Amino acid sequence: MKVLISKSKISLRVKALAKQIRADYKGEVPVFIGILKGSFMFMSDLIRNYGLDCELDFMALASYGGSKRGSGIIRLIKDININIRKRHVLIVEDIIDTGTTSNYIREYLILRSPKSVEFVVLLDKADARKVDVDIKYIGFEIPNKYVVGYGLDCAEKYRNLPYICVYED
């Protein structure tokens, strides 16, 4: 596997994103919603660097079913427990590729009447996009390659890598 984004580059970019979010939500208490399992490392580093009062929760959805390609069917496995009505919501994603799942999440959360809903994504794979997704905070734009590490997996492996690699069978 070839390293695409180093641990130090990830760290610097996460700090910059946290600083930007801190400035944008000054005086507010946003709700960070991490999309499991892939976002857990990014979410942890992001909120530690955010450093201000915030709330967090997690959602879990399934669309891959253990393969490297989405099935097109999205299943909600774990819903949020926090009330987001009239709150600023930041959806924290590890990667947005086709946009299908991200679009589903946004539409699902909008039904709960938040003040705003924005995406914070570590990796944007725009070349793979099938559904338009408005992403306010982007860590890195990457090519249309299968990647692992820093929370991203292949059949539940490689999540623990501190960097992002291009996965090759």
Pull the structure tokens for residue 139. 């860590």
Q: Which amino acid is at 17?
A: L
Q: What is each CA distance from 43 to 31, 61, 119, 124, in whole angstroms?
A: 12, 16, 12, 16
SS3 content of the chain, % helix, strand, coil (to 5): 25, 30, 45
Q: Could you give the CA distance from residue 133 to residue 164 in angstroms, rounded to a whole number?
A: 23
Q: Can you list the residues of the chain whose pLDDT is less than 50?
A: 67
Q: Which amino acid is at 129?
A: R
Q: Which residue has the tokens 């924005």?
A: 118
Q: Could you give the CA distance from residue 123 to residue 150 in angstroms, rounded to a whole number?
A: 11
**pLDDT for 63:** 75
107: nearest Cα among 134, 128, 129, 126:
134
Residue 14 dihedral angles phi and psi, to the nearest 5°: -60, -40
Q: What is each CA distance from 161 to 23, 36, 66, 113, 152, in whole angstroms?
A: 30, 17, 19, 37, 9
**pLDDT for 62:** 86
**pLDDT for 72:** 67
Could you read off the pLDDT of 135-156 as tens digits, one per residue?
999 999 999 999 999 999 999 9
Q: Which CATH architecture has domain 2-22+29-166?
A: 3-Layer(aba) Sandwich (3.40)
Q: Annotated active-site positions, please?
A: 97
**pLDDT for 163:** 98
Domain ranges of the chain: 2-22+29-166
